[in-house]
Structure 1
Amino acid sequence: MQTVSILSSTADPLDEVSALTHPGSLLSPEGEIVAPYDLEVTDTPATGFLALSTVQGILNANSATFSPDYVSHRKLHVINGMGVTLGDSIIGLTALFALKRRHPQLDISLYRPARAPRYVQRLYELSAPALGNVVELPVALDALPQDDLKIDIGNHLFWPQFASMPMIDFFLWALGIPPIDVPSDEKRNHWLKSVPLPSWPSDQAGYGLFCPNASTPVRSIPPSLHREMVARLHDDFGLPVVGFAAVDHPHYTDITPLAPDTADFLNWVKHARYLVTSDTAALHIAAGFDVPSTAFFTTIPPAMRARDYADCHAVSVPVPGLAGIQASARPGDLAALERAYQAVLGEQVGPLHRAPRIAT
């Protein structure tokens, strides 16, 4: 059994708030690696935990930048990657596949929060055969061999760089890979094309896809505008429209019941002729399958998520006072959001018309 070496002899346990918002994973008093997210969603007391980055041999770019000698290693442990949302996970996995492409000898073990939503965990199950092992936290620190590479990307939402870098660049940097060394076409999530998906019926083709709901209302398309957006999508491209929302329009079908699994969601995006969305997960999937799209961004700049997507028409919908906000459902914020969308849609040349027309 290896001996845990704390980098600082004065390292003290984090307080309750600091433990849950710590930019990294945690080490329990029992010597287990723990995801702060799992503590939060189970309402487990977050007392007595150390920052995992204080343990010798644990690399954490938020604590100190590093440049691993990947060539000389055969085993990599990625701790608490790549988040608990579908969109972040797609991009984080893109970074891991870029690493794997450069160093195919690496045997990757990815340690995940056990309490992440099931539909997010399903993505890791689908990717595991091509990537490596996926293991649920907590795990004993002693179970990770001392000489193996160990990189902590835990709780990345609280890393300052996450809010200031395009997401794919953030994950590459967090893995010790200079983002400039990875060309733009490798940042388009094409690993999704290798994911095994259910067979697709030959008669289910030729539709536009509408995904208006993001992870928070302030980043979603206001419901009052759904019908107009569906109408524009149908009129612009001459396609029937399907989507993941209830919309009253004669050429629209709500397919929410037809996508009970993450693989089904991937399939619906993969086979769309065009996508209109404010959901970055849908956008990342569309980029992976080279599906053209129009994507709306409110509280984050489009370049933070869509910079490398050649087939994406990214539309900024600035909402005064809400730049950079992660989540909100406050009535005042949503009223401002609706006004911002109305202004964008009221432009003389609307965003869908400026998107490339597809062949029918």
Structure 2
Amino acid sequence: MQSLRADEALAYPGSLLDTKGRIVAPYDLEQRDAEIGEHVALASQAGILNAAAQPFEVDYSQIAVAHVINGMGVTLGDSIIGLTALAAIRQIYPHVRFVVYRPELAPAYVEQLYALAEGHVASTRSLPWPLADIPREEVRVDLGNQLFWPRFMSLPMIDFFLDALGVPPSSVPSANKANRWLQTLELPSLPEAWRNRPYVLFCPTASTPIRSIATPVRSALVSRLFEQFGFPVIGFGPVDHPQYVDVTAASPGTADFLTWVRHARYVLTADTAAAHIAAGFDVPTTAFFTTVAPELRVRDYPLCRPVTLELPGLSNVQASDREQDMARLNAAYQEAMNSELPFAPLRPASE
């Protein structure tokens, strides 16, 4: 196969192989902002399974070790769902051991999730990694750069990952798609002041401004939460409201973030990572969606009440902070505030 051009390499739906025979993540090349160099598609190599290049199925009943190359993205939400796919497979085939090869320069808070999952769902290795060091006789699945896969924004994310791993999504029960492997993790305790104090959690900030809750309505949403439930509202980042407490300083890492969500009586969020975590711990949630359809993210979460804001022309936009887009976002949230918000029943105090 011919070498990929620099622009082709960065947007290739899969992982890359450099001239030294090492597997490379396109994300790492982009982050280094240096000369890309020569690379070929990893999927061009014999024995590499890449569903974007050629659909396949794997009989995991016959597999001892499966290598997942360049999975499961570089955001916390994508990683939770990708690991859920592995956990769902292991629920059926507990003998399977997964090894996940991660981008070298992925954010530290995302890598903290994989460290927590070590020994529970999968073990991890850091790219670049010599292709020759992954046994040819073992299953080798390329899941790299999934943002550029045609089906990434057309399938529910959990179904996308299962399909990319060679598993028919319909073969996995919905109950196994709700991230409950998170309950197996060893997490820190809450700060003492909050251990026996009920609270609801407000997570307004997503990975990009166009998917975050508009700043002008955040205080009003805190009021809605307090009026609805009567408990203090905690969150991450400043909100000017007398019933709100910013606990950012008490959440230095991903494990702490998981703990705050785990013990919440309710979650209101635009951050899909928070919605995924809440589902894993059976915490009722109201989640706002702007540029992505809620059925692609929270279909399997019975305790989640999605709110879809209409932003014509911005469907499936991955990121934006353009002034005109933010003005439309603010207007959509102002309109939403004129309606009742859908709240699920409060989580019982005994849980």
TM-score (structure 1 length as normaliser): 0.94
Instruction: Give the structure 1 partner of residue 284 of structure 2.
Output: 292
**Match of 2:118, SS?**
helix
Identity value in percent: 51
Number of paired residues? 347
Alignment partners' CA distance in 1, 2:20 and 2:225: 55
Q: Find out whether 1:59 has 2:46 as its counterpart.
A: no
Q: 1:117 aligns with which of 107, 124, 136?
A: 107
Q: Report the Cα distance in structure 2 between the residues aligned to 1:299 and 1:235, rounded to whole angstroms.
A: 29
Aligned equivalents of 1:359, 1:72: Cα separation in 2? 43
> The residue matched to 1:27 in structure 2 has which SS?
strand
Work out the CA distance in 1 between the residues paired with 2:62 and 2:251: 43
Contiguous gaps of at least 5 residues in structure 1 = 1-10
User: Shift in Å at residue 132 of structure 1?
Assistant: 3.1
Alpha-carbon contact 1:31-1:141 (below 8 Å) kept: yes
Q: Is the contact made by 1:230 and 1:252 (CA closer than 8 Å) also made in structure 2?
A: yes
Paired letter, 1:193: Q
2:233 to 227, 241, 244: 241
**For 1:185-196, what aligned pairs fall within 5 Å after superposition?**
185-196=175-186
The one-character-per-residue Cα deviations of 1:198-245 (angstroms, maximum 9, x if unpaired) are: 123565131010000000000000111110000000110111100012
Aligned to 1:76: 66
Counterpart in the other structure of 1:8: none
Q: Using the alignment, how far apart are the partners of 1:200 and 1:41 within structure 2?
A: 35
Going from structure 1 to structure 2, the CA distance change for 1:200 and 1:357 (only over 3 Å counts) comes to: closer
1:228 equivalenced with 2:223 (yes/no): no
Give the letter for the 1:13 counterpart. Answer: S
Please give the residue correspondences for 1:18-37 in structure 2 after superposition, counting only pairs within 5 Å.
18-37=8-27
Q: Residue 104 of structure 1: CA displacement? A: 1.6
Could you tell me which residue of structure 2 aligns to residue 355 of structure 1?
A: 344
Return the offset for 1:131: 2.1
1:46 aligns with 2:36: yes
8 Å contact kept, 1:197–1:264: yes
- Equivalent in the alignment of 2:254: 262
| AA aligned opposite 1:216 | T
Asked if structure 2 preserves the Cα contact closer than 8 Å seen for 1:13 and 1:47, the reply is: no
Provide the rounded CA distance (Å) in 2 between the counterparts of 1:220 and 1:87: 14
1:1-360 correspondence to structure 2 within 5 Å:
11-201=1-191, 203-204=193-194, 205-347=197-339, 350-352=340-342, 354-357=343-346
* CA shift digits 1:276-327 (9 cap, x unpaired): 0000001100000000010000001111101110000111011122111111
Partner of 1:7: none
Structure 2 segments unaligned to the other structure (5+ residues): none
Q: Measure, in 1, the Cα distance between the counterparts of 2:61 and 2:192.
A: 45
* CA-CA distance at 1:119 after TM superposition: 0.2
AA in 1 matched with 2:289 = F
Task: Please tell me whether the aligned partners of residues 76 and 110 of structure 2 are also in contact (alpha carbons under 8 angstroms).
Answer: yes
Amino acid aligned to 1:98: A
1:357, CA displacement in angstroms? 4.6
Distance in 2 between the 1:306 and 1:107 partners? 27
CA offsets per residue over residues 164-217 of structure 1, 9 Å max, x none?
000000000000111111111111100000011012356513101000000000
Q: TM-score, normalised by structure 2?
A: 0.97
CA RMSD of the aligned region, Å?
Answer: 1.2
Asked if structure 1 preserves the Cα contact closer than 8 Å seen for 2:265 and 2:348, the reply is: no
Aligned to 2:120, what secondary structure does the other structure show? Answer: helix
- Mean alpha-carbon deviation: is it higher for 31-40 or for 67-76? 67-76
- Distance in 2, Cα, partners of 1:161 & 1:321: 20
1:237–1:358 contact (8 Å) kept in structure 2: no
